[in-house]
Structure 1
């Protein structure tokens, strides 16, 4: 298999308001975390168990500005992006690591998981256009003709 894929899709709730920084070069960056939950039934006790995972998200430029203006603690959002791990040394000289999702698509969702009124997916300015030969397929509802 040629190539590789680094793609993350998450739907979760913000744990706190985004932290916004304006860099010297004029770029804006937003850092925030979202929680995703998985529910399952414990085989031994039969009780429902909820397990929450926290994900660190980084949004740049236009997406950071959207995050600054429109999302806040508790909001449900849809994120697409890629994983990136940063490495640095702490004050004691120990290597430290942080894995983050660098987002290139952010959609604000309502509390029920439905998009808010007039909500459109917001893509990063760096998003690449689709290749010329790539086709989009219609859903079965859009085309009532049967193929046979």
Structure 2
């Protein structure tokens, strides 16, 4: 039996994306994502996810998205476990995105800034190729192999 680990989430960014660099200098962007879930006719719930986006794709997110902006991410789930300072075992599941689509305009002015610079916010792919896109639904995708 084959295994499949793919997830597609659309929601709003809960904190400004931050970038850090690994020991080898590889950039990785991290942000939180809030996704609405309908529980019944009258009630909704919100699920929160931590998302990591690597390399040029992560740089595009940190340069063009802010807290409150809508975004769609596609990627995989990754389980992590570690020992806390107090000696207890901790674990969590993160989303590692390999495709990102910028949705709408959200509550920041980053969309306008991206257009003014002559480059669409989604023009960087995982491998740095110019993918282009329209101004409203810019998408950054990994190339097909």
TM-score of the two chains, using structure 2 as the length reference: 0.74
- Residues of 1 paired with 2:53 and 2:99: CA distance? 9
For residue 81 of structure 2, the aligned residue among 74, 87, 92 is 87
Is there any run of 5+ residues in structure 1 with no aligned partner, and where?
Answer: 43-47, 130-148
How many pairs does the alignment contain?
A: 119
Is there any run of 5+ residues in structure 2 with no aligned partner, and where?
Answer: 107-132
Q: CA RMSD in A?
A: 2.1
Structure 1 runs (4+) deviating above 4 angstroms are none
Residue 32, structure 1, aligned to residue 50, structure 2: no
Q: Deviation at 1:24?
A: 3.0
Q: Deviation at 1:49?
A: 1.2
2:104–2:137 Cα contact (<8 Å) kept: no
CA radius of gyration, larger in: 1
Residue 61, structure 1, aligned to residue 60, structure 2: no
Residue 51, structure 1, aligned to residue 69, structure 2: no
- Residues of 1 paired with 2:40 and 2:82: CA distance? 39
